[in-house]
Amino acid sequence: MFGEIFGLSRDFRKILSIRQYNNDVENQKLGAMGEGIAKKYLQGRYYKTLFQNLRLGKLEIDLVVQDPNGVVVIVEVKTIKKGSPFHKAQDNYTNQKRRNIQRAAQKFLGLYPHYISQAGIRIDLITIELTQENSGPKAFLAHHQNI
């Protein structure tokens, strides 16, 4: 009997592991979709893309762009599927995430000092909320500058 219970427990762990994997894959797809939307949005406003999904050790920068005035902008993109009127995409931009972005920005500038210009550098947050409406999917985007 203990073996049966243990066997069920192991199967249950496998199911949870598969669910977690599926959630991770779904989140990666959602994040990639949001980054694509943000990139198109910025390009439509004459921003030049310098890097996308830049890995800096354990840190990552979603987008590094240059605005029309020459300012280098490090962009964090937060995307959610809108399911609750109380949860906003910017709620996922936590203090820990803010510190990580700041550390990534410092590391970026250390590795790529030629991107430091007189025009300056800033960190922006783009939030995207995806909804499904009768007319099809919609994306609501907000661009928070110099966060």
Domains (range + CATH), the chain: 2-144 (3.40.1350.10)
CA dihedral for 94, 54, 127, 42, sign (positive or negative): positive
Tokens representing 120 are 């300056």
- Do residues 125 and 93 lie in contact, with contact meaning Cβ atoms separated by under 8 Å? yes
- Do residues 116 and 72 lie in contact, with contact meaning Cβ atoms separated by under 8 Å? yes
pTM confidence score: 0.79
- pLDDT tens across 16-74, in order? 455 554 565 677 788 889 999 999 999 999 999 999 999 999 999 999 999 999 999 99
